[in-house]
A and B are shown apart, each in its own frame.
Chain A
């Protein structure tokens, strides 16, 4: 795989399905949860029994509209559901209630920018979102050799389908689009987008063409992509393959290919047949919806600040670096934590540092998320304040933090209990300095002959005698003073 484009460009479009976080399914009262014993979260409605009728879950609509508004979509003021007709065992009614010509949202944008997954800087651009619509998820099939089993727990879960314009040109852009979508969905609590739980599924459409050509090349669909990285790898492979084929004079045809993550390649699944006729017609069991401006505005007001906007605000308002802001706004809860800590008066830059180093590391080590942090943002702010008013040193603070994380105790309590208050009184430190100098005449001599490194050893002694509590700046100053003083 060369990665070289040889005068071709890739045209990439993504079709993403995202399960909406609601307490019940889209058209019935069964719980909307992952897992569980097969066919235990089912009822006559989601099983498509004779005589049942769908009832719309308003929360699913609300969240879909929210997703659209987060992406700057236009919300259709009049919308409806349609029946999409085809036969398959994972479809209880052998039609799926979906949306055809009047989806809830259309014409949005997902901005991508910054450094891509492969390390290169991406062009800042907005990837077009053609539409977002709502539909019911299908059941899950599992194959057991000579027979297949179908679990209807998933049937009827609300699913947003987000179709992008074919605006992406590189695997990096596709990856950034997906991470951007996921971030927005998590921010607005619309979905956790956990691909392992099937909450986000992605199909890729990719074609290549010579750069100066306006017509699109043959579009190839790639399925079985189980992670964002797989999408990236599959695109790298497929673009390379298509370009190679064309350069060798082969022609491409519309087909669906399956990505094999273990082998790192795509293989033909099926040749694209004539387009499936789904015989769409408006769902007669559900009323059409009129989305009034009142409801739309109320949803808009309830949405959180967008991640990109929040990141920019962090840089401008808190004066932290774009890199820090990126890390902190990655996750909405992390950003909330930061702001709560800073609201207590702690210096933003210091809080940012502590969060990125100590806090995230401890959380990672104990496999917890920010929501489970034993150290509350207010406690971290308190710790930072103790450093800033020199009650403890930065080094001691790290130990204190570790204890805070393990016990959940307040920093001042820990400092008190362990007697960790920094000693900043010159007289007190002076005693330790004098002792260090007295006990190490050879080192003192070393220093006088120009070996400045011996200062570190002497500092170490001072810290040892003071059990780490000596204010390092003061200790350093006093050592130097007394070393220089006694120099001739």
Chain B
């Protein structure tokens, strides 16, 4: 793929500060790269070139007269198309929102905007974040930059591909069951899912309210730490956001060391059928490298793993069935006018039938079913109880270790169309999904590649609100790993 022409976020900040580059130059590099490769990669659904350059000019003017908004003023960022940016499309890669323009900013966007970030464009995703390959997008296909016959992973596939393909310095994604970590792993970039409640969800189009989190996709761990410092923190508009203040993730990295750190490797994770040998080897190799640096590798157990996928697909679809009910064409979005509706509800059915893709419909129906009278106790209620046990699994494991190491996915990026049934796709979430159920933090950091050059990610997990520990461990690993 060749060396990427873009700086990291960290490098961009220094270059802007030192006058070695300008916002205009940065934006033009990114836009130029998009022009060159995006017809092949398909990471972006929308880019407003004029708007971006106008914003860049404004940032440069501010820097020139000493009124810059901060160190990040003028840096472009790509945003997954499910986070509200005022005046930009908010489609969630769905036909039902194809022409919808957001009238407001998400809280994370507000925070980034106040730092001077420029909202470069909207990245492709699985429709309403439902998917693990990005193939469920209702609008276009995205390819893995390392091999265009393969998927980039999902649901934040566009953001991961953009960063990996040099089409963005940094990007925002969202993670409900692995949707940041998995595409990060498939595309060979860093992706972080913060602790549930760490980052405001106000302005993130909800898929599963109790599982969703916004997080960064970047080329380095430090870049992700810088991003988290900006976007985290309590938001009075999100009642599920935690009171912990933002900051300190980037500054703690310099003190990072794994000496004496206990790295837990869950036995059950390495017993999963279908775990690709090259994935296993990469992850075990990473463990050995950490051990060589003074870390202690311990075996831990997460026996509830076998229930995680079932619990997730009950809880997430149930919440989604309600969250997606608002898309009825009454106030915004697609209102079908071609069919002949004899009644109001028939009108809704036409709009939703035409506007939603198959996977979305599948999950809405599944979610409606598990909540329905007579089934609530057996499915939804029971799944929530299992969820508590999964959380306790992690709490217990973290008494025996400081961070957990595991694969991100049983196999690296597969070919488009290869996972023929939805169920096979669901099963591929095995390593990432329980992290969202437990609410803890986790990330994917590149740890190797297959013989044919397909990236493989190492998943690292830490207890809730221990982002600093997580990022320190990841940064140390990144340093000892060296270039891939």
Q: Could you say which residues of chain B place their CB within 8 Å of the CB of A365?
A: none
Whether a CB of chain A sits under 8 angstroms from the CB of B427 is: no
Q: Could you say which residues of chain B place their CB within 8 Å of the CB of A56?
A: 239
Q: Which residues of A approach B to under 8 Å, CB–CB?
A: 44, 47-56, 83, 85, 87, 89, 92-95, 150, 277, 279-281, 284-287
Whether a CB of chain A sits under 8 angstroms from the CB of B475 is: no
Partner of B240, one of A83, A280, A285: A285
A413 smallest CB distance to B (angstroms): 54
B188-210 interface mask toward A, CB cutoff 8 Å, 1 = contact, 0 = none? Answer: 00000000000001111110011
Identify the interface centre among A93, A94, A280: most chain B CB within 10 Å of its CB. Answer: A94
Q: Could you say which residues of chain A place their CB within 8 Å of the CB of B104?
A: 44, 49
Q: Could you say which residues of chain A place their CB within 8 Å of the CB of B344?
A: 89
Q: Known contacts being A44-B103, A92-B326, is A85 close to B371, with CB within 8 Å?
A: yes
Q: Could you say which residues of chain A place their CB within 8 Å of the CB of B318?
A: 281
Contact (Cβ within 8 A) B331 A92? yes
Query: Would you call the interface of chain A mostly helix, strand, loop, or mixed?
Result: loop
Nearest residue (CB) in A for B348 is A87
B235-279 interface mask toward A, CB cutoff 8 Å, 1 = contact, 0 = none? Answer: 011111000000000000000000000000000000000000000
Partner of B204, one of A51, A54, A87, A93: A51
Nearest residue (CB) in B for A152 is B331
Partner of B322, one of A44, A83, A287: A83
A277–B328 Cα distance when bound, in Å, is 19
Contact (Cβ within 8 A) B97 A50? yes
A39–B84 Cα distance when bound, in Å, is 22
Q: Could you say which residues of chain B place their CB within 8 Å of the CB of A44?
A: 103-104
Whether a CB of chain A sits under 8 angstroms from the CB of B368 is: yes
Contact (Cβ within 8 A) A279 B372? yes
B341 smallest CB distance to A (angstroms): 13
Q: Could you say which residues of chain B place their CB within 8 Å of the CB of A281?
A: 318-319, 322, 371, 376, 380
Contact (Cβ within 8 A) B322 A50? no
A279–B323 Cα distance when bound, in Å, is 13
Residues 90 to 105 of chain B near chain A (Cβ within 8 Å): 90, 92, 97, 100, 102-104
A320–B247 Cα distance when bound, in Å, is 69
Contact (Cβ within 8 A) A49 B103? yes
Q: Which residues of B approach A to under 8 Å, CB–CB?
A: 82-84, 90, 92, 97, 100, 102-104, 106, 201-206, 209-210, 236-240, 318-319, 321-322, 325-328, 330-332, 344-345, 348, 368, 371-373, 376, 380
Q: Could you say which residues of chain A place their CB within 8 Å of the CB of B240?
A: 53, 284-285, 287
A284–B212 Cα distance when bound, in Å, is 11
Nearest residue (CB) in A for B375 is A279
A83–B239 Cα distance when bound, in Å, is 16
A285–B344 Cα distance when bound, in Å, is 29
Number of A-B contacts (CB under 8 A): 96
Contact (Cβ within 8 A) A287 B239? yes
A54–B239 Cα distance when bound, in Å, is 7
Q: Known contacts being A87-B348, A277-B372, is A49 close to B332, with CB within 8 Å?
A: yes
Q: What are 6 of the A-B contact pairs (CB < 8 Å)?
A: A48-B326, A50-B84, A51-B90, A51-B106, A53-B239, A281-B319
Contact (Cβ within 8 A) A89 B330? yes
A49–B368 Cα distance when bound, in Å, is 21
B306 smallest CB distance to A (angstroms): 25
When A and B form their complex, which 3 residue pairs have the shortest distance between CB atoms, in order from nearest? A94-B325, A284-B209, A279-B371
Nearest residue (CB) in A for B91 is A50
A47–B331 Cα distance when bound, in Å, is 8
Contact (Cβ within 8 A) A55 B237? yes
Q: Could you say which residues of chain A place their CB within 8 Å of the CB of B321?
A: 85, 279
Contact (Cβ within 8 A) B373 A279? yes
Partner of B239, one of A51, A94, A279, A286: A286
Contact (Cβ within 8 A) A277 B237? no
Q: Could you say which residues of chain A place their CB within 8 Å of the CB of B372?
A: 277, 279
Contact (Cβ within 8 A) B83 A51? yes
Contact (Cβ within 8 A) A93 B325? yes
Nearest residue (CB) in A for B84 is A51
B99 smallest CB distance to A (angstroms): 13
Q: Could you say which residues of chain A place their CB within 8 Å of the CB of B327?
A: 50
B83 smallest CB distance to A (angstroms): 7
Q: Could you say which residues of chain B place their CB within 8 Å of the CB of A53?
A: 201-202, 237-240
Identify the interface centre among B327, B371, B376: most chain A CB within 10 Å of its CB. Answer: B371
Q: Could you say which residues of chain B place their CB within 8 Å of the CB of A279?
A: 321-322, 368, 371-373, 376
Contact (Cβ within 8 A) B348 A52? no
Partner of B326, one of A50, A150, A280, A287: A50
A53–B210 Cα distance when bound, in Å, is 12
Q: Could you say which residues of chain B place their CB within 8 Å of the CB of A277?
A: 372-373
Q: Could you say which residues of chain A place their CB within 8 Å of the CB of B90?
A: 50-51
Q: Could you say which residues of chain B place their CB within 8 Å of the CB of A287?
A: 239-240
Q: Could you say which residues of chain A place their CB within 8 Å of the CB of B237?
A: 53, 55
Contact (Cβ within 8 A) A55 B239? yes
A397 smallest CB distance to B (angstroms): 59
Contact (Cβ within 8 A) B326 A93? yes
B227 smallest CB distance to A (angstroms): 20
Nearest residue (CB) in A for B96 is A50
Q: Could you say which residues of chain B place their CB within 8 Å of the CB of A95?
A: 322, 325
Nearest residue (CB) in B for A95 is B322
Nearest residue (CB) in A for B202 is A53
Contact (Cβ within 8 A) B206 A51? yes
